[in-house]
Amino acid sequence: MASQDAPVSPLCALCREFADDVIRFAFTQPDEYPASSRWLKDPAFDCGYLAWKDGFRHHDDLASLAASAQAGCALCCIVHNELAPFGPDDCKGFVVFHPFSGFTFHFRDSPSMQARPPPWIEQPRLYEFCQRRSRLPGVTFEDPAFWKGHIDPWRGSHAIPGDGASEDVFDTARWWLKSCVETHGDICKRPVAPLPTRVVDVGVDDSCNPSLYISAGEYEPCAILTHCWGGGIPFKTTKATLQHRIKGMEVSQLPKNFQDAVEITRRLGLRYVWIDALCIIQDDPADWRREAAKMADIYAAGTVTISALDSPSSETGILHRRQALPEVVLSSEYTVRRQPRTFERVLADCPLNTRSWCLQEKLLSPALLHFGSQQIFWECRYQKTPEVAPTVHLKYNPPVGVRPFMGIEKYVPPEGPFWALWYDAVEAFSMRDLTFVTDKLPALAGVGARFRQQNGGGTYAAGLWVEDLAQGICWGPAWDHLRVPNRKATGFDRCEVLRKPSVAIAPSWSWASVDGRVSFFGSDGPWEFTILNVDMVDHDDLMAERSLGTLTIQGRFARVWYLPDSHAADVHQNIGRLVLKDDGNVCFTGAMLDLERDKKKECWAMVASARSPGSFKGFLLFEEQGSHFVRIGFCNEQNTLTLDMDKFAEMTITVV
């Protein structure tokens, strides 16, 4: 993020030759090179595992690269800092630059690529070429003048300012918002809905103090803030402060996230923003329950959701100086810099992605403007786009359970509800954290309301749906290599350790009865058991903090011993087995207790699904407690053992 006034960086003769050639080639691989050049054609590097394209032969060895860096060459310094830590054994041969598909570099033993692949092939040190200037005043992205002299966005990047609050940043954000609303069609169409009960009126400019506005059913554009509380927020709306908030709020008294949300809303050209801590009366349980139940509609109707990705608390702020990236100024027009983190990596690592409440805010919003530590991102039902390439619509590879929910209407098959979509959302939700255990079910209520609305109904029961409850109770601890498309698991690397919450909020058969990542297990064939009755205390209540009840299940059962793996390195790898109590020769592997996986236990195994040898066989595990049973685990058996159903007797049990 070098200043447009920064001088050209000092370069050695080889780096200068390389930079001049790449700029002269317009960052596009030419058909031919001068015979005397140091360029090497593609066959020398087309090794099948990474398409590097043509390369430039740089310094001859690590020693000469280090000497050039020591002498002050800025580009050699970056390359040396990236490659030298791999050690001399992986830094043999000459250095090669590959500038035509991003910009990466590595050592090679010879141009023929006979050496073994170096360790950085899976995670290459990627840099990119950048235009130093942003756009000319008054020139927008759709104007052909914007692209005059710019690098092809697939080969280089748009310049991004070091100041996250700069006008260039908001020009980009406003253009994204305008394009989404005006050109993305029905897929991004916001529902026609009135303002929420209360919103923050930010005024027309920064001379106005924001105030809490009690809406009167107006249909006005409104931004939404999704953020991490990071503990208590001293400035929030309570019964005692409600009238003060309505009269007005000094911007300087607001938490930094709220100050920035007010500024962002104004600079996007909007008048209202919904902020949970200000728009819900925090010490009024009735108001909280009433407004929280509307979150599905609030987020779905929002014009744009302001996403504070990298703010772990309300006082961190959203608009700030950005993290500096290694960068070299090649000329008056171009630089080369380390690529910013990808959208997927930012989402995986950011504080916002760890909070349970924030998942439904992401799933339900038609469009999100994400503020990261290096750049902003746009995400809507039509596209995702980074600031470094503001007009490029990147291929969507979202985390499980995210984008399909945003466009749920498109994914519901005509023959009926698409229950698997719910399990995707629950799996994503279970990865996140809650401050209060009793918020678990309410934090997913908005997603549940949206799911029921779009799927044509459904009876809710402790985080599951009665209409698909046989599948819903077949869950277990998640594996780190969690998923393949057909929802069947393929083995174990590391298994999640689940925890018992401090307060029982759901029956043992629900995933909500434990804390930690869960996964749902499918079946190759019909289920081998029948749920005869569902009896819930809080019947079909999405907002219930505790949802307890019983299942009456008819199936085939056998007494078994659960035996932990005595050779497991730790509890994450402790995947046990089941041995029939009446026939110790029959053993099933892949058994996972929800809790206490390291202890031998006598229990009951119920056949959940069973097919021919070599196919998936699932068993639900129960422990007898008086006249009732509790679910304690799941067994995912995939060996070739033939299942003798005669060893399992038909029973009917009640599970709490």
**146: its two tokens:** 């914007």
- Name the band, by pLDDT with cuts 50, 70 and 90, for residue 45: low
641 pLDDT band (50/70/90 cuts)? low
CA 32 – CA 21 distance, rounded (Å): 12
Answer whether residue 571 shows pLDDT above 90: no
What is the pLDDT at residue 268? 96
At residue 80, what is the residue type?
H
Q: Model confidence over 307-350: pLDDT tens digits?
A: 999 999 999 999 988 888 889 999 988 999 888 888 888 888 89
DSSP-assigned states of every residue in 576-603: EEEEETTEEEEEEEEEEESS-TTS-EEE
Measured distance CA(279)–CA(554) in Å, rounded: 48
Do 210 and 202 contact (CB within 8 A), yes or no? yes
Given this model, what pLDDT does residue 116 score?
Answer: 38
Q: So what's the pLDDT on residue 146?
A: 52
* Least confident among 60-64, 113-117, 233-237: 113-117
Q: pLDDT value at position 491?
A: 47
The rounded mean pLDDT for the chain is 83
To 10 degrees, what angle do helices 62-71 and 74-83 make? Answer: 140
Within a 13 Å sphere around the CA of 534, how many CA atoms are in the beta-carbon half?
A: 24
**pLDDT over 70 (residue 200):** yes
Tell me if residue 628 falls in helix, strand or coil.
Answer: strand
Show Cβ contacts of residue 645 under 8 Å, excluding neighbours closer than 6 positions.
556, 607, 610
Instruction: Identify the weakest region by mean pLDDT among 109-118, 448-457, 514-523.
Output: 109-118
**SS3 at position 363:** helix
What pLDDT is stored for residue 613 in this prediction? 53
Percent of the chain with pLDDT over 70: 83
By CB neighbour count within 10 A (0-12 exposed, 13-18 middle, 19+ buried), where does 61 fall? middle
Angstrom distance (rounded) from CA 46 to CA 111: 10
What is the helix, strand, coil percentage profile of the chain, to 5? 25, 25, 50
- 74-83, 134-143, 205-214, range with the lowest pLDDT: 134-143
Element (H, E) at 222: strand 222-226
- Round the CA-based radius of gyration of the chain to a whole number and report it: 29
Cα(364)–Cα(381) distance, rounded to whole angstroms?
Answer: 10
Reply yes or no on whether the pLDDT at 626 is more than 70: yes
Q: Which two tokens stand for residue 409?
A: 């209407």
pLDDT range class, residue 112, cuts 50, 70, 90: very low
Residues 587-615 have pLDDT tens digits of: 788 888 999 888 899 999 998 887 655 45
Give residue for tokens 């070599």: 614
Distance set, CA 529 to CA 467, 580, 631, 650 (Å): 15, 19, 15, 10
CA distances from 508 to 511, 629, 633 (A): 8, 9, 10
pLDDT tens-digit profile of 27-41?
Answer: 889 989 988 889 988
Contact 52, 88 (CB under 8 A): no
User: What pTM did the predictor assign?
Assistant: 0.84
Encode pLDDT of 533-555 as tens digits. Answer: 999 987 788 989 999 999 999 99
* Predicted pLDDT of residue 205: 83
Q: Please, which pLDDT band fits residue 144 given cuts at 50, 70 and 90?
A: low
Question: Is it the case that residue 139 has pLDDT exceeding 90?
Answer: no
pLDDT reported for residue 415: 53
- Express each pLDDT in 498-528 by its tens digit: 999 999 999 999 999 999 999 998 776 688 8
pLDDT at 47 over 80: no
134 closest CA partner among 333, 276, 271: 333
pLDDT band, very low/low/confident/very high, at 637 (cuts 50, 70, 90): confident
At 200, list the tokens: 């923050």
Percent of the residues in the chain that have a pLDDT greater than 90, as a whole number:
46
Angle at 283 between CA 278 and CA 285, to 5 degrees: 110
| pLDDT at residue 397 greater than cutoff 50 | no
Summarize pLDDT for 484-502 with one digit per residue, the tens.
333 344 444 678 889 999 9
